[in-house]
Amino acid sequence: MIKHAITKHPVLDLIKERWSARSFSPKEITTEQVHTILEAASWAPSANNEQPWEFQYALKGSAGFDSIWNCLAAGNQPWNKHAAGFIVSIARKTLSANGNPNANAEHDAGIATGYLLLQASSMGIYTHPMGGVDKVKLSNELKLTEDEKILCVISFGYLDDAEKLEEPFKGRELTARVRKPLAEFVKLVSSY
Ligand SMILES: Cc1cc2nc3c(=O)[nH]c(=O)nc-3n(C[C@H](O)[C@H](O)[C@H](O)COP(=O)(O)O)c2cc1C
């Protein structure tokens, strides 16, 4: 598959095979499957095991799906009409024990989000995280408190044919994935 990562090192197949899809098939995803994906997220590490994440989801055909879709940026709406559902990834900004700010909240909720993407991929379910969302509008729709910060919306579903997409989405679906070489972001710490 063109979208699988070509790596220099023996990276896990699960990581190589995940990619952000846009062409979703009409096949439904069940609540049980979503719960499996979200339980995987809960097994992410977090500072003090605070688990400072929250996930709200909606399946296609529900009012929740429509209200999340309505908050997507214009460039994300067309191809997401066919998503089987959305997961809203949220960080809880304060510590449950004392209400103080949790400096690790977004980091830890981000790891949990990564876990859910990989769990979905292992189940043959494709995902697409999106920051192109009107987060103020979506916070209002979901009646979130000041403590709850939306990180991204993830659409998911089974994969359909890229040919069903219109441009520019079709072209993006067919483009190979690229990454910076390690030399650009890895440094060996040496004594100074
Ligand atoms: C936080 C976040 C926000 C993103 N926002 C969007 C978005 O609004 N629209 C979009 O099409 N893709 C979005 N993406 C997907 C990225 O473009 C994609 O992950 C990146 O190009 C790497 O491709 P891959 O996921 O297929 O490896 C987002 C990804 C992340 C993690």
Domains of the chain: 13-184 (3.40.109.10)
- At 122-180, the pLDDT tens digits run 999 999 999 999 999 999 999 999 999 999 999 999 999 999 999 999 999 999 999 99
- At 112-126, the pLDDT tens digits run 999 999 999 999 999
**Which residue's CA lies nearest to atom 30 of ligand 1?**
129
- At 57-99, the pLDDT tens digits run 999 999 999 999 999 999 999 999 999 999 999 999 999 999 9
Ligand 1: which residues within 6 Å by Cβ?
Answer: 19-20, 73, 76, 129-132, 152, 177
pLDDT value of residue 1: 61
Positive or negative, the CA dihedral 154, 88, 120, 10 is positive
The CA-atom distances, in angstroms, between 149 and each of 33, 44, 67 are: 25, 18, 18
| Strand (E) or helix (H) holding 190 | none
- Residue 111: exposure state from Cβ atoms within 10 A (0-12, 13-18, ≥19): middle
pLDDT value of residue 12: 98
Mean pLDDT of the chain: 97
Say which amino acid occupies 53.
W
Query: What pTM, to 2 d.p., does this model score?
Result: 0.97
SS3 call for 87: strand
> Is the pLDDT at 5 greater than 70, yes or no?
yes
Nearest alpha carbon to residue 111 among 18, 179, 35, 40? 40
> Is the pLDDT at 191 greater than 80, yes or no?
no
Q: What is the DSSP string of 3-51?
A: TS---SS---HHHHH--B---B-S----HHHHHHHHHHHHTS--GGG--
Give the number of the atom of ligand 1 that is nearest the alpha carbon of residue 3.
26
Give the number of the atom of ligand 1 that is nearest the alpha carbon of residue 72.
8
Residue to probe by mutation, ligand 1, list 20, 116, 175, most atoms within 8 Å of CB: 20
